[in-house]
Every structure is written in C-alpha cells, then in structure tokens.
Amino acid sequence: MQSFLTKRAISSGVSLLLLIVAVFFLSRLTGDPTDLYLPVDASAEARENFRELHGLNDPLIVQFGHYVADLVRLDFGESIRRARPALEVVIEAFVWTFQLAVITMAIVSAAAVSLGALAAFHVGGAFDRIATFFSLIGASAPDFWIAIVAIVVFAVGFGWVPTSGTGTVWHWILPIGVLFIRPFGLILQVVRGSMISALGSAYVKTARAKGVTPKKTIFVHALRNAMLPVITVIGDQAAALLNGAVIVETIFGFPGVGKLMIDSILQRDFSVVLAAIMVTALAIFLMNILIDLAYAALDPRIRY
C-alpha cells in the first residue's frame, strides 16, 4: 500500500515535470504579451521596460530556469493581467470549479447508478427502454448546444433562473443541469451493462437460492460487483469536470478554472495558465489515487 502510493507519487511527479516543460514552451509560442498589454502606440522604451519587468527579455531557457526555481518555492509568479499572485487567482477559480464538479458528480452518480441498476433488472422492460433512450440522447448531445437552448428556454423564456453569473442557489441550476446530462447518459449505460452481467452471474443465482429478496439481490449482491467498471467512468468524467468545464463555464459566465484558463490564454497571462494547469493536474492525480483506493475498497481481490 505504502509502496503503491510512493510509486504513484513518483510517476505522477515525472508526468507533472514533463507537463511543466511542455506547457511553458508551448505557451510562449502564442506570442509576446507586450503587444496585448500595452497600448498600440506605446513607446519602444515602455515596451522595453515592460519586458524587463516581467523577465521577457531573457533567453527562454533562462526564463524557464527562473520559473522552475520559483515553482520549487511554490511561487507561480504574478498574473500580468490581475497583478496578483497567479496561484491565488487560480485557487479562487478552482474552488468554484471544484464545487461545481463535486455537486454535479454526486447527483450524476446517484441518479445514474440507481436508475441503471433498475434498468438492468428488467432488460427490455418499459423502464429499461425509456432509460436507455434518454441516456443515449444525453450521452450524444453536444453540451454547448444544450447550454444555449437551456438559457433561451429556462432563463430568457420562462425567466425561472438567471442567465449567467453567480450569487444565489438559482445560479447553479443551469450549469449543473447542463453538465449533468452527458455523464449521466454515459454512466447509466455502463452501470446497466455491468449490472446485466452481474445479475446473470453465478453468485446472484446463489443469492436467489438462499431466498434473498430482489431488492437486496440488486443493491447488495450485484451492485458492488458491477461498480468496478463504473468507478473508472465516474473518475474519468469527474476529471473532465475538474479540468474546468470550459464551454459551459464560459457560456454561463461561471468563474471557474476552465473559464480562467481560456481567458488567460487569450490574454497571454502565462503565469496563470501554468498555475491553472499545475493545480488541475494535481487534483486529477489525487483523484486517480482515490479511484484506485475505491477499487481496493470495493473488491478484496485488488490489493496494492
């Protein structure tokens, strides 16, 4: 167990390092931030001062050296745009994204797992057909389209919820609702398939021969076995949300890390981009460990 965690930490550390290298140099390819931040008619001197101030005059490799040296001290640099520490800006946004991801995934998992399990119990029954139909639509619908339609219908048309921004509980409803649809469809399909094979298994036959009730057979005997492939998909979907639901956050003006990243890239605010990538990468690394631990908790045959 200990050695497993150590190994995972080392391999993740290496990936993180490669990520830093790739992101640092690739982001420099997007152009010189000076052009963006100073007025078009700024003097050459002003430009030179700006470059000097932000270390943009040094050779790339020296800039990279400085950057890594600062990273070791957990200093991600300053946001050029906001004139605040980049890490602070990112964490502020990440907290929003994290809340959105956790709430969405909690609702999605509960709904998809219970409905998928019930659908599998009577394969081909009315409930199964309805659930399969809607989950397939959900899994294949593009979320930017759903987001726009949702705003038009529920915010503009009925006026039930605000169109964008944050502040009240009502602001959360549309982003969560839109983010819910695709993972829900995907996870429900996986749960259903996995449950069908679990319910056809020999140990379920044993449970029936013991006189176990159908409810207990589904939710105690079959479901825990069926959850293993489901956990993988849930983790995958959660990772996508943690990365920042870029499109949905942008459409709903939600101040999460996805929107922050897009804005910072457009603004060539490199420190923020890098900090955002590091924070989300770390979050995804932690979540993968959580998934591995969940595997071991669910299945005694898996031990690290």
Map tokens 């339609």 to a residue: 149
User: Taking CB under 8 A as the rule, does residue 3 contact other proteins?
Assistant: no
User: Cβ distance 194 to 229 under 8 Å?
Assistant: yes
User: Taking CB under 8 A as the rule, does residue 262 contact other proteins?
Assistant: no
SS3 210: helix
User: Taking CB under 8 A as the rule, does residue 208 contact other proteins?
Assistant: yes
Binding window for other proteins (CB under 8 A); candidates: 41-49, 70-78, 199-207, 261-269: 199-207
Map tokens 């009315």 to a residue: 126
What number of other Cβ atoms are within 10 A of residue 66's Cβ? 13
* Options 57, 142, 205, 286; binder of other proteins; rule CB under 8 A: 205
User: Taking CB under 8 A as the rule, does residue 140 contact other proteins?
Assistant: no
User: Taking CB under 8 A as the rule, does residue 126 contact other proteins?
Assistant: no
- In the range 54-93, which residues lie near other proteins by CB under 8 A? none
Q: Give strand pairing partners of 78.
A: 85
Phi/psi region, residue 88 (left: phi>0; alpha: psi -120 to 50; beta: rest), is alpha
Binding window for other proteins (CB under 8 A); candidates: 52-60, 161-169, 216-224, 272-280: 216-224
User: Taking CB under 8 A as the rule, does residue 197 contact other proteins?
Assistant: no
Pattern 280-299, other proteins, x by CB under 8 A: ------------------xx
Nearer Cβ to other proteins, position 212 or 287? 212
Joined tokens for residue 223: 């479901």
Residue 78, phi then psi, degrees to nearest 5: -100, 145
User: Cβ distance 94 to 259 under 8 Å?
Assistant: no
Residues lying near other proteins in the complex (CB under 8 A) are found at 201-203, 205-213, 216, 221, 224-225, 298-301
